[in-house]
Structure 1
Amino acid sequence: MNLKAERGAATRDRVLSIATRLFADRGYDDTSIEVVLQESGLSRGALYHHYAGKDALFEAVLEATESAIGGKIRQAVRGITDPAAALRAGVLAWISLAGDPVIQRIVLIDAPAVMGWERWRAMEERYSFGMLKAALGATGAVPAAFLDLHAHMLLAAVNESALMVARGGDPTTAMAAVEEFLRRLLQP
Structure 2
Amino acid sequence: MAPRRRAEMVEETRAKLVRAARQAFAAKGYAAASMDDLTADAGLTRGALYHNFGDKKGLLQAVVAQIDEEMLARMQVARDQAETVWLGLLAESIAYIEMALEPEIQRIMLLDGPAVLGDPSGWPNQNACLRRTAQTIQALIDENTIRPVDPEAAARLLNGAALSASLWIAASDDPHAVLPKAVETFRHLAAGLLRS
Query: In the comparison of the two structures, how many residue pairs are matched?
Result: 185
Q: Compared with structure 1, are the counterparts of its residues 163 and 115 closer, same or farther at alpha carbon in structure 2 (3 Å cutoff)? A: closer
Which digits, 9 at most, give the CA deviation of each residue in 1:2-61, with x for residues without a partner?
Answer: 444333322221211111121223322222322222222212222333222112111111
Q: Give the structure 2 partner of residue 135 of structure 1.
A: 136
Report 1:19-34 matches (<5 A): 19-34=21-36
Over aligned residues, Cα RMSD in angstroms? 2.9
In structure 2, list runs of 5 or more residues that go unmatched.
none
1:183 pairs with 2:183: no
Q: Which has the larger radius of gyration?
A: 2
1:128 shift after superposition = 4.2
Runs of 4+ in structure 1 deviating by more than 4 angstroms, as ranges, are 127-130, 163-166
1:130 shift after superposition = 4.4
Distance in 2 between residues matched to 1:127 and 1:28, nearest whole Å: 26
8 Å contact from structure 2 (residues 94, 183) kept in 1: yes
Report 1:35-184 matches (<5 A): 35-80=37-82, 82-117=84-119, 121-140=122-141, 141=146, 143=148, 146-166=150-170, 167=172, 169=174, 171=176, 174-184=178-188
Which digits, 9 at most, give the CA deviation of each residue in 1:77-111, with x for residues without a partner?
Answer: 12546321111010111012122122122222222
In structure 1, list runs of 5 or more residues that go unmatched.
none
Distance in 2 between residues matched to 1:180 and 1:12, nearest whole Å: 41
Task: Considering Cα pairs closer than 8 Å and 6+ residues apart, tell me whether 1 or 2 has the greater RCO.
Answer: 1
8 Å contact from structure 1 (residues 112, 120) kept in 2: no
Q: Compared with structure 1, are the counterparts of its residues 8 and 81 closer, same or farther at alpha carbon in structure 2 (3 Å cutoff)? A: same
Indicate the larger mover: 105-114 or 65-74: 105-114
Q: Percent identity?
A: 26
1:69 shift after superposition = 0.9
